[in-house]
Amino acid sequence: MATWSNLNLQNSTSPLMEQLTFFHDHALLILLMITILVAYIMISLFFNQFTHRYLLEGQMIEVIWTILPAITLIFIALPSLRLLYLLDESMDPLLTIKTIGHQWYWSYEYTDFLTPYEFDSYMIPYNESDFNGFRLLDVDNRTILPMLTQIRMLITAADVLHSWTIPALGVKVDATPGRLNQTSFFINRPGLFYGQCSEICGTNHSFMPIVLESVNTKTFIEWMNFNLNN
């Protein structure tokens, strides 16, 4: 998760977030090269004592500074388009979960089983949280998901616009009343992954966090059996 000393992106926990991180670094490197080149040219102009009194046009330099930006944009656009289609690619999910945004909490429905399992997830107040807990980020009921499994998340809202966001997964989907949005992801390691509502939805917008707990398949099945039988 993000901490006060982390100025970079969060560590990725899905293949798509890894690709987003690679593209971020790729675009940042190109931006750095352009910045250095432009800074060098500007400094050279400031300290250049020579002038060309009869220079009216320079077709060659105009062609160069038109072609070079076009080539640069191609090097940015091709990976960007590839990643855009990868993000929209739909795969056959092994597990489908429905998420509903409320003012101001999230509810989850595991509907793939004979007996659907539903629960609400509220933020733990600061005065009730553990000493080592994360302030305003932990919840009373975490969303347990199996790792190394293709998961589909159906997202909607019961009242106003919300946004279900997990930065480590590279997932940000609007929860719209009367509409069912869909996203899919693949968690490639165990752990706790935190998120928050990313759409201003009212006075307690800052107090409806999201916590995903990634476990192995055996632990997930045992957790589901326990909840379905109780």
The domain locations on the chain are 15-88, 95-229
Query: Which of 97-101, 111-115, 128-132 reaches the highest mean pLDDT?
Result: 97-101
According to CATH, what is the number of the domain 15-88? 1.10.287.90
User: Is the pTM of the predicted complex or chain greater than 0.85?
Assistant: no
pLDDT of residue 25: 92
The pLDDT mean for the chain works out to 88
Q: What CATH number matches the domain at 95-229, 3.40.1280.10, 3.90.1010.20, 2.60.40.420, 3.10.620.30? A: 2.60.40.420
Taking a C-beta distance cutoff of 8 angstroms, is the pair 142, 123 a contact?
Answer: no
Q: What is the dihedral of CA 185, 187, 188, 192, to 10 degrees?
A: 150
Q: Taking residues 58-82, report their average pLDDT.
A: 89
Give yes or no for residue 137 having a pLDDT over 90. Answer: no
